Amino acid sequence: MKKHSENRADAVTSLLGLGNHSTRKSYYPELVDKLEELEEEKNRYKWLFENALHGIFQAELHGTVLSANPSIATILGYPSQEIFQASISHIGKHLFANEHHYTCFCEQLEKNGSVRGMEVVFQKINGEVIHIAINALIKNVDSRTPVIEAFVMDITERKLAQNKLKRLNEELEMRVDNRTQELVTLNDKLWQEIREREQVQQELKIAKDLAVQANSSKDKYLAAASHDLLQPMNAARLLISALRERKLPEDDSALVERVHLALDNAEELLTDLLDISKLDQQAVKPDINEFYLSQILSSLSAEFQPVAENKGLQMDFVECSAVVRSDSRLLVRIIRNFISNAIRYTHSGRVLLGCRRKNGAVSIEVWDTGGGIPQDQIDHIFQEFQQLECDKGRDRQGVGLGLAIVDRIAKILDHKITVRSEVGKGSVFSVELPVTKPVANQWQQPSCITPVPDLVSGTSILVIDNEENILASMYALLQQWGCNVSIATTADEAIQQCREDGIIPEIILADFHLDDDALGTDAIAAVRHAFELDIPGVMLTADRSAECRQMFKSLGLPVLNKPVKPGKLRALITHLK
């Protein structure tokens, strides 16, 4: 008599069309392994259901809740999902706070079989109502019992913010209408009452101040919006970088490269918008000190050398030992723009970076063999959104903000910008700044470090960030480089994860602004304390304020601004290791 397990193996192998007894024996372990994998997959989905951030529940369409996860109970104020499930005997009466919403919900479900993004009002256990965005679908367990499966997200704060914004817009429109009417009235009086000109001029001055204030508000909004957009841009850049380093089919590789170029252009535009808004708000304060030009020029040359080679250009660099007095970070922004433009608008030939001393000053110059700039257009290229007509074809990049930013920075630093160009031969962009005497034992960390790729593989790296997309992107990229990666959203989770993984991180990469007002600097300190080691840390942040920059400098923490450039990240990891 065969055992039950043997009968089951015979039945399975028979269904799969397997052969004789020996064949069944050879495949049976594989079948058992597959069944175990299916069980593990089932447990994984159960874990996801129990730990999902959004609320999930299953209920009869016109009846009780059949199952729910902890998040839906938390959203609605119930102590547990069991109590929530037992308390809802009819979702229309006890869950939906608005009968009309429930009616529309049922009608759409019965008509389309699903609901996506419907905004409704639910009532909590204490009677309070909250705004919910719900996705749901309907299934017929049998012919009599329609069952819905729903995913809900609390959007109360968003709705409150929208209502507040609507009120502010209405108030602003009213103020604009009132101000417009006042200006019309004042304009009429100008023609009728010459003697009141001083009073009218004073009113116009007030109106001008209000316009300046409104423009300042616009710049602040633009800065905030650009900052928020840099976060998803950072995740996308890291994922694309991971894909670029993989061996893909030629067609797929070409598509990934196009996405990479599109992200580069978008990132450049967002960075320019952010810089313009800061400069217009006069929020940029230079940090003047003495440093060797070789510190920044050699790193810029190394940074752009592969860019030039990829375009088939020769990139030359002439060393310079001069010591200058300026803000190294802002000066790098000027020179980087010169080099980037030279490579972008030069289709063949070479680009040269070098210096020329004259009368107690040094001129940093970038030469190219591009198409050149007509003399009557040179002044226009430093204005916002200005590009030469010859550069407005299909391969156009940017929107013409780079040189406008250069002009503003040069004025802040009191550095002279000059341009020499000849159509058909090329251009020379230069910035002139004062030289000073060398400072004893003076040396600063270069802004860009040339990477040594082979030293990155095998490095144990801990990444702390509150954005799941960024964590996934960093994990994919760093693993692509052969690193041992642990990821976490908080300091406590990071310490626990490292201990579970059995590793002590060699480098910590932390976002500055974490959830619940936590800071990445504190997270790095907590991990160091937990392992009793002074582990090298790096701040990854989209916050480019002078206050943060000064804080990181005082803590001795290198900074990479988001979107993080993978080349700089890899170089910095190599340097810290």
Contacts of 66 (CB under 8 A, 6+ apart): 57, 58, 59, 60, 85, 147
Q: pLDDT tens digits, residue range 176-231?
A: 888 888 888 877 777 777 777 777 777 778 877 776 666 666 555 555 555 566 67
Report the interhelical angle of 328-344 vs 402-413 (nearest 10°): 150
Which percentage of the chain shows pLDDT scores above 70? Answer: 79
Any idea which residue has 């608005």 for tokens? 98
453-576 in CATH: which number? 3.40.50.2300
Alpha carbon 292 to its chain's center: 33
In the predicted structure, residue 451 carries a pLDDT above the cut 70: no
The pTM for the full model equals 0.44
Q: How far apart are CA 535 and CA 527, in angstroms?
A: 8
Q: Which CATH architecture has domain 52-154?
A: 2-Layer Sandwich (3.30)
Annotate 44-66 with DSSP letters as a single string: HHHHHHHH-SSEEEEEETTS-EE
Number of H helices, E strands in the chain: 17, 17
Q: Which pLDDT belongs to residue 447?
A: 40
CA distances from 361 to 35, 253, 414, 435 (A): 76, 48, 13, 5
Distances in Å between the alpha carbon of 576 and those of 295, 372, 495, 532?
A: 18, 42, 21, 18
144-186: pLDDT as tens digits? 678 899 999 999 898 888 889 999 998 898 988 888 888 888 7
181-280 — its CATH code?
1.10.287.130
Report the alpha-carbon distance of residue 462 to residue 471 in Å, rounded. 10
Please, which residues bridge with residue 353 across strands? 317, 366
Tell me the residue length of the chain: 577
Give residue-wise pLDDT tens across range 320-365.
888 888 888 888 888 888 998 899 889 999 999 999 988 888 999 9
Is 289-434 CATH 3.40.50.300? Answer: no
CA-CA distance, 479 to 496, in Å (whole number)? 20
CA distance 114 to 117: 10
Determine the pLDDT at residue 463: 93
